[in-house]
Amino acid sequence: MAGQSVAGGNVIDITTMNDTHVITNQYNKSVTIDSTINARIGDIGGSVGYTSQAVCNSAGVSTDPTVTAITSNQDCHSIDPSSTVNAKAYNIGGDVGLASSAVGNTFQADSNASNMPVDTAQINSSFVHSVVNANLANIGGNVGATSTAIANNAQIIHYSTDN
């Protein structure tokens, strides 16, 4: 048995195989971005897993041309990208997995372009909040619980074009 909850402010995913010049501006002033799972489960012979995720701004760019130029600006001014998992589980024959994550701004770019200038700025004035509350009894397998709160995250991967 599995359950998932997702809340997102601004999300963009760009994939091209051409020379690409990307300019993306994400601004979020939402009152709240909240993802919550409340689960009460029992008498399950197998495994159970619940995931909750909230993100204010997310941008991903993947290209494979000669030139990739990226400008990304992300401003998260929402009150709270927040994620919560509240789980009560009993008499579970298998594993129990619980995960919660909240992110203010996240940016990812990858390319094997020989020329790849990237200009990225991330501003976060929100309260990023992630919680897992668990009340568990009589679990037959393993239990895993993860809670992650990240204000700003960027990953840039430039693959070598040399042999």
At residue 31 the predicted structure's pLDDT band, cuts being 50, 70 and 90, is confident
For 18-37, what is the mean pLDDT? 92
pLDDT at 160 over 80: no
For 103-107, what is the mean pLDDT? 97
At residue 140 the predicted structure's pLDDT band, cuts being 50, 70 and 90, is very high
Domain segments of the chain: what residues? Answer: 2-154
Mean pLDDT, the chain, whole residue set: 95
For 100-110, what is the mean pLDDT? 97
pLDDT at 7 over 90: yes
Cα–Cα distance measured from residue 12 to residue 9, given in angstroms and rounded to the nearest whole number: 10
Task: Give the pLDDT confidence score for residue 15 in this predicted structure.
Answer: 95
Task: Give the pLDDT confidence score for residue 61 in this predicted structure.
Answer: 96
Q: Which residues pair with 134 in a beta bridge?
A: 87
For 51-69, what is the mean pLDDT? 94
* Cβ partners under 8 Å of residue 56, min gap 6: 9, 10, 28, 30, 33, 76, 78, 81, 103, 104, 105, 124, 126
For 153-162, what is the mean pLDDT? 88
Q: Is 31 helix (H, G, I), strand (E, B) or coil?
A: coil
Span 71-90, pLDDT tens digits: 999 999 999 999 999 999 99
pLDDT at 163 over 70: no
Task: Give the pLDDT confidence score for residue 102 in this predicted structure.
Answer: 98
Task: Give the pLDDT confidence score for residue 21 in this predicted structure.
Answer: 94
Task: Give the pLDDT confidence score for residue 64 in this predicted structure.
Answer: 85
Radius of gyration of the chain (CA): 19
Task: Give the pLDDT confidence score for residue 27 in this predicted structure.
Answer: 96
